[in-house]
Structure formats: C-alpha cells, structure tokens
Chain A
Amino acid sequence: MSQVSLTIDNKEVSVKPGTTILEAARSVGIDIPTLCHHRALVPVGACRVCVVEVEGQRTLQASCVFPVTAGMNVQTESPRVVQARKFILDMLFSERNHFCPFCETSGDCELQNLGYRYGLDHWVYQTYTKAFPVDASRQYFLMDHNRCVLCGRCIRACSEIAANHTLGLRQRGAKSMINADTNTPFGGSTCISCGTCLQVCPTGAIFDSRSSFMGREAQSEVVKSTCSQCSVGCGIELITRGGNLLRVRGDWEGEVNKGAICKHGRFEPLNEGRNRLLNPMIRRKGKLQPVSWSEALQAVAKRLEATEAKAVGVLTSSNATNEALFLLEKLFCKELKVNNVGLLNEAAPKLAGQRRGMLNDLVQSDLILVVGADPAKDQPVSSFFVKRAVDKGARLIVVDSEQNGLVPFAFMNVEMKNIQKAVEIAERAENPFVLYGAGMTEDAAKVLNKLQKKAAFAAIEPGVNTRAAVAFGFNNGFKPASSKTLYVLMGEADGSGEKALQSIDKKGFVVVQASYASPLTERADVVLPTAIWSERTGSLTNTEGRVLKANRAVDPEGDAKPDWEILSLLAGKLGKSLPTSFDDLSARASNELKRKEI
C-alpha cells in the first residue's frame, strides 16, 4: 500500500493512508497529549486536548480523529495550540473537584500529568461550587463524580468493549453526568462489575475500593499473567507492592481478551473469603496436624506404594496448570499404572469434525447460537464478544433456559429441546457461529450437525483448564467406590469434590492437594497446601486450545507450593524420575498437548 507523506513539527513523516495525525506523530516519537483517547477505544475527538494546528484548516483539529493527507503540515505545540490546550486544562481543572492531594489517583492521573506538563499552577477560572455524589453502591469499585472529566471513556468501554451499554450520559452541557441505565445507582443497574470502565478512567473518578491509597503505579510492580478464573484465558496484569497484590487489570496486549476482563478475574480473587491452607498436614489421632513437607509427602508416598494400582483413584479439578496435569498423568497413569482417574467438573461434549472457531471470530459472525452455556455468568469476556457482534447487527439465539444471562441481548431464546428452530434460522445465515457448553445435550449436538458445513463451532468449557485435563485423559468416568486411596488435585476449586467424598469408602485414605479449607480437606488424611493463581507460575490451555502462561506475582502464603512442584516432589519421594525444572516440564507438557491435537 502506498504511503502518505506529511510534515509534523517540521519533521517528515510517512505513514499508511487512513492513519490519524496522532498515530503518525507517535510513530516518529512526537508526543501529542491526549485525554479522552484510549488505545482500545474508537477515538471521538471529544476532549480537544490533542488539538493541533493543521495548515489550511480554519480551526484547530483533534489529532486523534483527523486523518492525514499528503503534504499536510501540522504543528503540535505552536503557541496557538498550547494556548488552547492550557485553556482546556484550565476548564477541566475548574469543572469539578480536582484538588489532587486528596485523590486516590494522584500520581497516576492522566489529567494531573497534563497539568504538570503545561505548567498549570493556579486556577484561572472560578472553580466548582457544587459537590457531586459518590456512588458506592457497587461492591468492588466506586464512582466519584467529583473527579469525573466527562471524557466518556467509561461509557465507550462499557459499549465497545463489554458491549453492555450500562453507562450513559444524562443531562447535557456542563450538567452532564455519567450514569447507569438512565440514572439508576450503579449497584442496582445492569452493570456487570467487569470494571472495564475503572480500567480506562483517566482520573480518580472510578476507583478500586480495595486497593485505593495502597500504592501508586510508580511504587508498584507489574507482572503479566493469564487469568486463572475461567477457560477464556484473558491476559492480565498483576500489580503488586512490597509483596502484596494490589489489583488486577486486563492486559491490553492479551491475545484473547485485548484488555477486557471481568468481575471474576478482576475483583473476586482479591476478595477471597475462604481460609487458606498454609501447612502440610497429616491426620493423627483423628486430627489434622501440621507437619513438614517431607513428612507429608513421605506419608503419601508410603500409602501409594502400599496400595495396589487399581485401588488408587485420582481426581483433578480443572484449575490445575498444564504442568501439574502433565505430571499427574505421568506419575499416576504412566508410572503407577492407575487408571481410575477423573475430572471434578463437567466438560463440554466433544463434537467431531466441526470447523473450529476462535472467540474473536464471534464478532464477525452474523448469527450466533449459544447452546447449553451461560457465558455472561461463567465466562463473561466471551459474552462481550457475543454482545459486540449483536451491536454490529448479528442475531443472537440462546438455546438454554430463559435465565441465561445473554437472553436480554438475544433475538430469540429457545429451550434445548427446540434447538431445531434455532438451527433452521442459523442455516439461512451467512456466517453462523455456535458457542456451546457443557449443558448441551447429545440430541442437541446431533441437530447441530446440520450446521457442520456452514458454522464455526467453539466450546466454552466450564472449568479453567478443562481442555488440558481432558487431553491428558482425566475425563474418564471416575468410579469413587473402587478407590481405597484417593489423590485429589483440587487446587483452588470450591466444593466440587463433595460428591466424590460422599461415595468414598470411610476407611479410604484421602490426599488432598488444595489451597483452601473445605469439607474435603476436613475429611483428608493428608493435606498438601497449594499456591493460588497469583503465587504460581504455570501454563493454562484455554477453551480455544491456546497455551497461555500464568506468572507468579507474589510469594506463596505460608508453606504452600505450586501444584506442579508438589507433584514433582512426590515423584521424587516415590523414586520416579520425572522432569523437575519448570521450563523442561512446561515444554514437554506443551509438546504433548500439541501432539494430542486438542
């Protein structure tokens, strides 16, 4: 494609046609300041901070939206531009309460940075006179209208990224206020608390209640990782200070999510209420007693050696890492010849021969069938893609109960038994997409076969790393009754082992590798404390089959260890030679997963 040449601040620039002045300037290191502009949002040219002087134009132009043309001559810091920018900043600072010292975001604020950059050291105009309310009706984050600059980023994030359309403006002009659902308190609105608005807010208007005043960006460290809360596999950034995890945000570079994350990924894990297991424990005299790792693993090894393979059962939750699942399979199935293994949660049924779709393809689809899954509840980021497609005109048919969280966005909602109706409509679409989950019945799967040639299919797995667990063979029809020794890799899973617990022999020996106390750990004979998502490095395989890396951001609490490390140590105790370095393990696990063509 031909290039367009122009001059910015007397510098020759050559860019692709259609590039904005802002992009062109940034490509050669000219930093035009912005405020309402955000990399993940469609530019709107609202705040006017990025105005530049374009030769031949009557007025100043917003560089974030103005496309370049050949021979254009742009000045980004001329006196006229600087005067306008300072004026705009003066206006913004005097609009509401922008007394920085009292603000949570002071030091991390885009508005404040601009104030410094343009030397604003006093108020020129009469400042705000009226205090605005603070909306604290949501659990995890607050909206302080006093700090709001009405840049509209939150509204656009809500519409363009989460596609939830909760946020909007009421009133007009200087009386404009961000509001939810035509002025409902946020907590009572259709807000899904994904916090995307929080993540894009340039000032302290929307802020996280848990981590506020706990540290500025400059004082903290950022670790990139993958969210371990569902099977979408969102890229995240973990912000820590002095070994404490402050908050989580979406990684704009995230392969799948491109910055978006949800309530489950952003807030809930930081507000965990369950009790952590901090020490290895062994049941002695009917009570679990803390012991050393060596002692605990020794006891497990001893028991395993004493049990014949067919009386050993292995259960895993789907939030184990690829590495742990790899070791679990190698140690128990290959080495110890155990074949009674199982998965604690359900998995989506396998459909053979279908064209596989990636989640991002949803947005290009013109008709989406959601079958037996409730992504709005369980995998919210994937529901964002569905809703974005709906915004672009795609029709959504939800084949599920009417409680399904996507029903309000759907053009049609049918019960599973009437899937035929939905399929008939989908057959007439140009580019249908089927997103299915564990709730899909076999009959429904058969009907869906009609779409085999036309539609793209994507399973949305209910568990985090189900794809890998299934690939390693853990979805195998586990029979609890036959185990005398049960090894449960539970990790952070919650309560999903209870069913297994009920049917196990009362005399059976139970080893639980878990992060939190639960009825299962209460029943266990050995408890092996496991590091949680933020404390361990490991790989996860998302529902599309992408292998994604999760990184450790903080040290494990107490004596807890990463899931794979525990298994590796156990293998040592059993005298089995399995890989012990993480990198080695990780590479081999990935290779094997690839081989299994998941």
Chain B
Amino acid sequence: MMKNIIKAGVLMCTGMMLLTACNKYLEVDPDNRTTLDTPDKVAQMLTSAYPASDYICFSESMSDNAGDRGHSGDQYSGDLLVNINAYKFIDYASTNPGSPDVYWQGCYQAIAAANQALDAINKAANQTAYKSYKGEALLARAYAHFMLVTFFSKTYDPATAANDPGIPYVLAPEKTINPAYERKTVKYVYEMIEKDLAEGLPLIDNSAYKVPSFHFNKAAANAFAARFYLFKKDYAKALTYSSQVFPGNNFKDNLRPLNTTLSTATRAERKAAFTSPDSKSNLLLATTGSTWARAWLGYQYGLNEAIAGNVFYSGNITKGSLAYNIFYYGSNNNDRGIEKWLENFVYTGPDIGNPYIYVPLFTAEEVLFNHAEASARTGDFNTAMADLNIYYSTRVVSYDPAFNGITLDKVTAYYNKAADPLGATVQAILDVRRSEFMQEGMRWMDILRNKLPLTHIDDKGAVINISADDPRKVLQIPQEAQANGLAPNSR
C-alpha cells in the first residue's frame, strides 16, 4: 500500500511541477503582434501618433470661405451632411470622414499611440536611446490635444480660460473599458500642452527620422510652438519659435514657387506638388483618411464665384495679379477650387477601399505669417512688412519689388487705417492667410483666434449670423462622449 502511495505521490509531484512550468509555457504571444521593446519599434509606433482624419471639411464649411453654389451636392461626394450641417452649424452625430466626431476620434487615436510609445519609453532601461522619440511623442500628444481644444472648447482667452471647459488631456494608455474622463479647463489644457511642448521640443532630433516630413522634425515642432503661442497671445514666444524654423529666417527659398516653377505645371502636377513630401514648404504631412479630395467639388457649400472674386480678384496691396489658379468645373460657374489635393485610394477589396490625402499640418507660409504677425504685435513693423514682401514675391505674377513691394504706409492706406498700423497689418496678414490657405481649413482657426463674425445664407435663403462670441463656434462634444459622462458645450 505504502509503495502505491509513493507511486501516486511521484506522479502528483510531476503534475505540480508541470503546473509551475505552465505559466511560462503560456507566456507566448498568440499571434504576430509586437511589443515596443526597441527604439526602432517606438519610432514605428509614432507613425500613427498623428491625427488620421481631417478637420478641413467641417472647418472650411463653417468658415466664410464657403457659400451656396446653387445646386445640391452630388453623389460622388459621399455623405453630404458633413458639409451641410457644418455650414448650417447643426450639431449631429456622424461616423463619416470629414465630420467633427470622426476628427475627435482621429485626434484621440493619435494621442493613444503617443501614450503607448511614452509608456514603453518610461519602462525602458536605456532612456537616452529613446530621447528623440520621447520628444516626438510629447509633441504629437500636445498637437492633437491642441487641435481638440481649439475646435471643441472656447478659444483661449486669458480672462476666461480658467473657467472655460477644456477637453480631457490623456496622459496614459487606456487599460479598461470606458474609464471616467474629465474636461477640466482650457487653462489646464493649455498648461499641459505647454508642458509637453517645453519638454519635447529640445529632444527633437531630425536624424532620428527615416522620413522627416511625416514626423515632428525640428522645423515642424517650432512651427507648432509658434502657432500655439500665437493662440496663447504670447507674441514674444511666438516670434522666438517662428524665428527658429528656418536658419537665418530664409523663408523665401521654402515657400511654394507659385509664380515660377508651378506657374507652368499641369493640373495633375499641381495636385501632386501641393502635398508632396519633396516640397520645402510642407514642414509636416499627416496621412489622413479623407474624402475631401474627391468631395469638395461636389458639395453644395464651398468656394463659389462671389467668394473667389472677393478673395482673389478684387485687388490687393501689391496691385499685381496673384498666381493662384482658381479653376471652375463643369457648367456651373460657382464650382470653384484650387488643385491642391491628390488622393491615394488604398484598396481593401475589389471595388472598395479608403481614400487618403496628405494634409500639410504646418507649412512655411504659415510660419512666415506667424512670424510677421508676432513681429507686428511686438512692435516690429519693418520685419512684418519684409515678411509680407517675401511672401508676395512668390505669389505675384511677374513680381517687381519696386512696383509691387509694400510698405506700412501702403498697408494702412489700403485698409484705410492710418491711425491703427497694427490693425491694418493684422488685417493684411489675415487676408493673405485667407487666400493662401483657401480650401485647407485654416481660415476657421483665424476666425476663432480673431473672433471674427460671419454670415451664412443657405439654399432656402435663410440667414445664419454667427457673432464674434457665438457659442455655436465651439463644436459640440460627440454624443457618445456625452453619453459617457462629458458635459456638453453650451448652446
């Protein structure tokens, strides 16, 4: 009997040893998934740390760049509500690209990727090997939050920022289903952005990137800082950062060659050039799932004859003609546009797939305008005028500095603001921004930052007046986020 007990015992012990061995045995990953255990993998993770959805469609439709084109939208544009509801300032839920909900998603997806990378970096033994990627992750996280707070909260105002509701600032990967998130305040969000920016910017190292134009390179990081401080109304810092983008502030060689090389390009070449990674103007490109390239032309509300005339053909300070190629399409004179967007359709099935565009998140032109505005606002009108002249030298057909060159006097005279040189300069910059960034969605950010009022008239003649402080300027928090506890914006 004893012998049998021993035999049984031996067998059971073998079993117990197997049990302990089991946990090791079960450590194997079930499939080809990866873990972020090398700097190279962290770098790869950060390719998805940029918003993969566009703000162009809704922000362009909300801005005064959009007007009624006199026909209903066509089928090739897909979902038309992304255009119509934005134009009419109607809150709605959507899962279609071009809607605010989907942009919200895209930003938080980018943030999740950045946080996943930061999480891996914090756990890594050798922090220095990850230094530059930590910088990129912090900047990417700051950028996505900045865009969210810009669209979904009240524009930063030092007087009210401590009370205006912000957007959740996410600092770590989500580990459970639907944890609680809170909005806190715009001031808090700006502080967090500034913190990430300050920590991340010095760590950026261009040599760490395989394709720098798709990553927060040194120039793009400084361009972001300049935009951020302009919104924060810290003009000295905006000037500092906008001066660090190009060595020796050589803007001229980095602007789009509209009145030279591109003036003879075919339409297909223009499209390709605008979002090309080879363009020196494109400081940072984001791979963006978007129907904008195919859709903008068919939307009911967009660039029409009246707005095109107003922005491009009603004269400018230089008295020259601008080298923008505004095309109109088909029989309708209202379907105006500029060939900026080249679509890359990635097939997922025989006839279906997803369209992608490559949105320049920061361009040399924007840096130049920010540099000019920050200079003017800190009292340096000479630099502001010099910057504008650099800009016009690449835009005016057959530019002649003697004839086309502008001065502060010409600017104040043009805007009839002799007593307000700053107001005139800012207005001049706003105007070039509007024409330069037509159909890029940037105009809406200018409207927000400068508290501009606007008026939309829909196809039935109904007038929608949006005042300077209209609450509808702030996009509504997506329904699903509200359902999960976020307070809606006031209406």
Tell me whether A and B are bound partners. Answer: no
